[in-house]
Amino acid sequence: MKYQSQKVARLYFMAAIGLFTGQILFGLILGLQYVIGDFLFPAVPFNVARMVHTNLLIVWLLFGFMGAAYYLVPEEAERELFSPKLAVALFWIFLVAGALTILGYLLVPYSGLARLTGNDLLPTMGREFLEQPTITKLGIVVVALGFLYNIGMTILSGRKTVINMVLLTGLVGLAVLFLFAFYNPDNLVKDKYYWWWVVHLWVEGVWELILGSILAFVLVKVTGVDREVIEKWLYVIIAMTLITGIIGTGHHYYWIGTPGYWQWLGSVFSALEPIPFFMMTVFAFNMINKRRLNHPNKAAVLWAEGTAVMAFLGAGVWGFMHTLAPVNYYTHGTQITAAHGHMAFYGAYAMIVLTIISYAWPILRGEKAANQRAQVLEMWSFWLMTVSMVFITLFLTGAGVLQTWLQRYTDDPLPFMVVQEKIAPFYWMREAAGVVFLIGLLVYLYAFVARGKPAEDATAA
Amino acid sequence: MSEVFTKSMARNIYYGGSLFFVFLFLALTFDTMKTLPQQDNRAAITPQVALGKRVWEENNCIGCHTLLGEGAYFAPELGNVYKRFGNSTEAIKAFIRSRPANGIPGRRSMPQFNLSEEELEGVAQFLKYTSEIKTQNWPPNIQG
Ligand code: HEM
Ligand code: HEM
Ligand SMILES: [Fe+2]
């Protein structure tokens, strides 16, 4: 660790891992409700568990991105963080606001929460992923502004590397696009149109900049390859991201009341969206093959490779599968979508956060890498979680293909609920794979315990 | 990547390409907004429908259902439920009204929301309005 202030990243990483655990527990509840319909009903209805699952996901990824920024920005900028105190204060604000929101979902009926938080004054609630009460959304904006100020001041008064500038662009984009969460017209078509400016332009736009820059940072560190080469790759990747991904938004504008030309635009551009993900895979393996040093943190290298592969599979391959309009006509809003959503979110964003944690955590403790045993455990957890996510995706894909066939494609389409019953075996298998995922996560947590006491006092490094 | 293709070339593609497509996207958005009135059934957005959208949101119906294919995949598509229920708002209201508070044993259950008559009528009208949005003939059939 070069700069003392990088240490605030630890808080953020701890919160991320804690919330990740919560996310998975609720995922397993959801998976069970899929097959045992009245499980926990009416105490925790499906929609409530789902909000908890997806909102915890987004919040832990945001904690992860912020932790990554607090770790790598000072190192790249070659100066201390502008204000470590602000970083700590914002951490607690975000954590408390997040916890209160989740408790609100679990303890108060959603309509009560809406009333309690004055949703009628500025109605923003009740849309997928944006279920947070308006006041929580405002809190997120405040935290984001403070965070950007802190990071921005650090970057602008320090060494301006490409990695830092791209990361900053991604983070600013994230905050700016979130503002569309406050636009909720009565016109459903317009509502949906701009809702995607948050959701799609996040995961297939600005978040990819964040992903690319974190990956580039870790690769610079673990391979020792010339920064010039890595920065050139980074530029090409994010160029392709935005060139394909912005108009690619059109793959969500096929059937929501928007004009027909989006079927062409969306299909063509989104079919190109796998390119930047493929380039990321080539990039990571190329750099690792050309490495000039053998970094002792083998687990971090594995996570980086895993991110590059799984992001391509989940976003690139599974995204492409249903992105052409004639295919999407039948698969839209089925388990195919869920399959893709899981592998893409895990492969790209969960794994990049786990990559930077893997790389940075030992250094924050004052050692270069964890001890052998802890690394082996961590690599076991990598394989358990990653392979079970592959199986979750495959089972959901099986369910989705059957659902599409039985409910959408045959001459004699069956009702939704009838089809769901027929494909229940796939849901059982998904749940089993989910349990293995949880075991992998427990191994991951245990790997932290196995690190033992820091080799030397973290302040010494 | 070779030496012929330099970092500054890569950077220029990034800046130029992104800027171009941001503007193209804004132009397309402008055009879409201009053509929406012919498709989005806005004439049907009465205060009652607006209330219905609020009821829809404040009870998080999207957390179990899809609406025009977006949302959760746990319960039936509702974008065309008005048509599936024989073009009847009464049938929709009756369905929502009749959900047992403790669910249906062993079956995926929908909560009893205890909506007022006004809210019920609103949400049913909202679903009727939604079913009349021109969606390029999606869903493929009445089952949604
Ligand atoms: C890491 C990047 C990505 C993530 C995290 C991601 C995640 C998701 C999620 C969560 C959804 C479901 C949204 C909803 O609830 O309605 C979705 C939908 C979709 N994604 Fe992605 N995605 C990514 C990249 C891609 C790419 C590169 C493509 C195309 C090649 C793609 C194609 C699609 C399509 C067509 C849908 C709509 C599915 C439907 O009609 O139901 N995605 N994505
Ligand atoms: C480990 C076991 C897991 C199980 C059993 C599980 C189960 C589920 C279920 C049942 C849903 C709701 C699907 C629906 O709307 O009907 C869901 C949604 C979702 N989960 Fe998971 N999940 C798990 C892990 C994860 C992980 C690790 C991630 C990402 C890192 C993730 C990301 C998501 C996303 C993005 C959605 C929304 C999908 C969409 O809208 O298409 N889940 N999950
Ligand atoms: Fe998308």
User: Which ligand number lies closest to the CA of residue B65?
Assistant: 2
How many domains does one find in chain B?
A: 2
Q: Are A235 and B13 an interchain contact pair (Cβ–Cβ within 8 Å)?
A: yes
> Which of A232, A243, A249 is facing B10, going by the closest CB pair?
A232
pLDDT at residue A97, as a whole number? 97
Determine the average pLDDT of the residues in B36-44: 98
Interchain pair A420, B108: CB under 8 A: yes
Query: Cis omega (within 30 of 0) on the bond before A42?
Result: yes
Do residues B74 and B97 both lie within one domain? yes
User: B83 CA to chain A: closest CA distance, Å?
Assistant: 14
Residue A455, pLDDT score: 62
At B56, which CATH number? 1.10.760.10
- pLDDT tens, position by position, A78-89: 999 999 999 999
- The band of A460, judged by pLDDT with boundaries at 50, 70 and 90, is very low
Q: Is the peptide bond before B140 cis (omega within 30 degrees of 0)?
A: no
The answer to whether residues A385 and A441 touch, using CB atoms and an 8 Å cutoff, is: yes
Q: Flag whether pLDDT at A458 surpasses 90.
A: no
**Chain A to chain B, count of Cβ pairs less than 8 Å apart?**
230
Query: Are residue B58 and residue B80 in the same domain, yes or no?
Result: yes
| B32 and B46 together in one domain | no
Same domain, B69 and B138: yes
**What average pLDDT score do residues A143-161 get?**
98
User: What's the residue count for chain A?
Assistant: 461
Domain match, B110 and B142 both: yes
Do both B31 and B59 map to the same domain?
A: no
Structural domain harbouring B80: 42-144
3-state secondary structure of A227: helix
Atom of ligand 2 nearest to the CA of A349: 30
pLDDT digits (tens, 9 = 90+) for B74-121: 999 999 999 999 999 999 999 999 999 999 999 999 999 999 999 999
Of how many residues is chain B composed?
Answer: 144
- One domain, residues B59 and B96: yes
| Res A210 pLDDT > 70 | yes
First-to-final CA distance of chain B: 49
Q: Between A45, A111, A246, which is nearest B21 by CB?
A: A246
Interchain proximity A235–B74, CB inside 8 Å: no
pLDDT value of residue B2: 62
Residues B28 and B82 in one domain: no
A112 and chain B in contact, CB less than 8 A: no
pLDDT at A259: 98
| CA A221 to chain centroid | 23
* Mean of per-residue pLDDT scores for chain B: 97
Average pLDDT over residues A297-313: 98
Whether A258 sits inside 8 A of B66 (CB atoms) is: no
Ligand 1 pocket, mutate which of A57, A174, A204, A335 (most atoms under 8 A from CB): A204
* Pick from B36, B49, B73: CB nearest A333: B73
Residue from B108, B119, B115, B14 nearest B65 by CA: B108
Give yes or no: residues B101 and B53 share one domain.
yes
How does pLDDT run across A187-209, given as a tens digit for each residue?
999 999 999 999 999 999 999 99
B contacts of A186 (beta carbons < 8 Å) = 45, 49-50, 53
Which residue in the block uniquely carries the two structure tokens 């391509």?
Answer: A312
Query: In a mutational test of the pocket of ligand 1, which residue from A203, A206, A279 has the highest number of ligand atoms less than 8 Å from its CB?
Result: A203
Which ligand lies nearest to the CA atom of residue B74 in the structure? Answer: 2
- Compute the mean pLDDT over every residue in chain A, rounded to the nearest whole number: 97
pLDDT in tens, A248-268: 999 999 999 999 999 999 999
- pLDDT of B3 reads 74
Q: How far apart are CA A119 and CA B141, in angstroms?
A: 36
Contacts of B31 in chain A (CB under 8 A): 259
CA distance linking residue B50 with residue B125, whole number of Å? 9
CA distance A126 to B56: 7
For residues A123-127, average pLDDT: 98
- A202: distance to nearest CA of chain B, Å? 14
Helices (H) and strands (E) in chain B, counts: 5, 2
**Which residue in A219, A237, A234, A389 sits closest to A301, CA to CA?**
A219
Cα–Cα dist A351/A353, whole Å? 5
Least confident of A46-55, A164-173, A451-460: A451-460
Residue A457 has pLDDT above 60, yes or no: no
A27-78 pLDDT, tens digit each: 999 999 999 999 999 999 999 999 999 999 999 999 999 999 999 999 999 9
- Confidence (pLDDT) at A456: 56
| pLDDT reading at B1 higher than 80 | no
Indicate whether B80 and B143 sit together in one domain.
Answer: yes
Confidence class for position A461, pLDDT limits 50, 70, 90 = very low
**Nearest residue on chain A to B129, alpha-carbon basis:** A188
Instruction: Give the C-alpha separation, A75 to A161, whole Å.
Output: 10
Please state the rounded mean pLDDT for residues A150-167.
98
Both B25 and B54 in a single domain? Answer: no
User: Are residues B96 and B121 part of one domain?
Assistant: yes
The conformational region for residue A447 under phi > 0 = left, psi -120 to 50 = alpha, else beta, is alpha
Which tokens go with B91?
Answer: 């049938």
A82: which DSSP letter? S
Q: Which residues of B touch A255 (CB under 8 A)?
A: 68-69, 135-136, 138-139
State yes or no: pLDDT of B49 exceeds 60. yes
Distances (CA, A) of A306 to A57, A248, A300, A423, B129: 19, 25, 10, 31, 46
Which of A126, A233, A329 lies at the smallest CB-CB distance from B58?
A126
Instruction: Output A458 or A181, whichever has higher pLDDT.
Output: A181
